Structure 1
């Protein structure tokens, strides 16, 4: 009888030990699984990031929007919102972290209040810019000095530069605009434009120039997609991919996509896509920009040009 009781006690003791061991194993397993799940969610969170905002340069908007649409066609879960607002706004917003990518026509070093060292520059294309002229002005070719004289107010009638007897109306972009900064720096040699109409959007500039007799503004080449405005030559040179790539046509700038630190997740994937052959050899030229691979020269933030 004693032996039976002892056997029962031993069996119960073994059962308790087994249960405790199993519980301990499950506890440990749950902890391990929890850690693994946490790591997975952390990494998965970056990989599964499906929405970013890209904003800034309106000159870049057509290119980036076209690339985003094609990217989303192949990646149904991706939500890439492309907005304008000007290069200054794009740089400010990406610096403060409110957007993933800030587009700019100018180097971050050229904008006051921007900590360029904190931002990473991704040059995704080159944009050419030139004068946009109302067809009734009767002019399609200007010397660089004539262009400067027109925008600084020294020349006020098209007849003074070989055109029709028509008063000149200036259409500018605001100070925050990268398009304006590029045009002022490389077309006007740094001269400040005279007062005129000021518009936030390149689309609006084009519309006003088209609708206003004698108007002149400036646009990225991607906006010269119809005959509503004249694409002005400078010193007899037309703005084309070839003349820009060789450095013969002077008014051009990099299309910068800045990130606050190294890009991650969808921002990195989209920027990699922007530099892919699919975009550089197709979308970039189709949208009126110059692929990075076509550039035979390069330019630094001071405007110095050197051969590659």
Structure 2
């Protein structure tokens, strides 16, 4: 009987050890930052997790500035950003490694009742700097302009200011943290105007051409449409483990040829030009 009990105890011990070894406690990383690229990272993260059970990609917005500061502080594994780390005050770009995963185009959006479809770059600038305050001044309805701007720290705001405002400041605008909220306010507020990533454009709002150039992916690829930026995923130092695996996944055909274009972003490989941190453009030889 004692021998039988010892055998049972031994088998039970082995089963316990084997069972513990088989349990996947799971891995997770956090990607925080740009709300313009949030839909892309969320979609890729969900797809990755469904293909790799027990591995989770937690995605949050908050703006590019938040993403860069959080990853620099070591609070998250990935900082999502629409701007180069060198462009953000208080960020030491030498600590961070840049991973460009896509291109995002930004477009002005307006309330559908405004009555304008094309505008000059000069007049668009004057609207955001407060020099033009009524839509009738640019061929639209006799209606006051209502400005909606992104909050400080937003990569989308930085890109828009860089390529539209030419160093001037937005005047008299409401500020919103979320791109989704910007779109909602514009869609429901008479006379409203703001800007969003192409991926956030819906039938609830209208877009504006600028100097006859439409906000399309093809026009971004050759820089005829100048309001665009890279989608960066920054890490503090070289990525390891799940972070490295996920960043590599972001550049696979599964993401670049499927998820990226479906959500309104542009694969890096399709660009005909490249832009450096100072805004200089050069053609890509292929």
TM-score (norm 1): 0.83
Contact in 1 for aligned 2:64/2:80 (Cα 8 Å):
yes
1:63 to 31, 40, 48: 40
Q: Distance in 1 between matches of 2:214 and 2:86?
A: 29
Distance 1:141 1:294 in 2: 27
Q: Does 1:165 align with 2:142?
A: yes
Structure 2 CA distance for aligned equivalents of residues 277 and 190 of structure 1: 38
Residues 49, 266 of structure 1: 8 Å contact kept: no
Aligned mate of 1:301, from 268, 277, 281:
277
Deviations 1:31-90 (A, max 9, x none): xxxxxxxxxxxxxxxxx9710000000001011101111111101111111000000000
Q: Is the 8 A contact 1:101 1:267 kept in 2?
A: yes
Count of residues in Structure 1 that have an aligned counterpart in Structure 2? 262
Q: Deviations over 1:125-178 (max 9, x none)?
A: 000001010011101211110110000000000000011111000000111111
CA distance in 2, matches of 1:282, 1:237: 27
Structure 2: which 5+ runs fail to align? 1-24
Q: How does 1:93-112 map to 2 (within 5 A)?
A: 93-112=70-89
What does the per-residue CA deviation read over 1:81-102, in whole Å, with 9 as the maximum and x for residues that have no partner? Answer: 1000000000000000000000
From 126, 134, 141, give the equivalent of 2:111: 134
Structure 1 ranges of 4+ moved more than 2 A: none
TM-score norm. by structure 2 comes to 0.90
| Alignment match of 1:77 (pick from 54, 58, 74) | 54
Pair 1:272-2:248 in alignment: yes
Q: Name the structure 2 match of 1:149.
A: 126
State the distance in 1 between where 2:278 and 2:117 align. Answer: 30
Say if 2:96 and 2:236, in contact at 8 Å, map to a contact too.
yes
In angstroms, what is the RMSD of aligned CA positions? Answer: 1.4
Tell whether the 8 Å contact from 2:26 to 2:54 is kept in structure 1 after alignment. Answer: no
Matches of 1:228 and 1:269, distance apart in 2: 37
Instruction: Write out aligned runs for 1:9-88 (5 A).
Output: 50-88=27-65
Give a deviation string over 1:228-282, Cα, whole Å, max 9, x none: 1112111111111211011111000000000000001111111101011111111
Q: Mark the runs of 5 or more structure 1 residues left unpaired by the alignment.
A: 1-47
- On the 8 A contact 1:53/1:80 being kept in 2, the answer is yes
1:218 paired residue among 195, 199, 202? 195
Per the alignment, residue 282 of structure 1 pairs with 258
Shift of 1:195: 2.2
Aligned counterpart for 1:125 among listed residues 99, 102, 124? 102
SS in 1 for 2:99: strand
Q: Which has the higher helix share?
A: 1
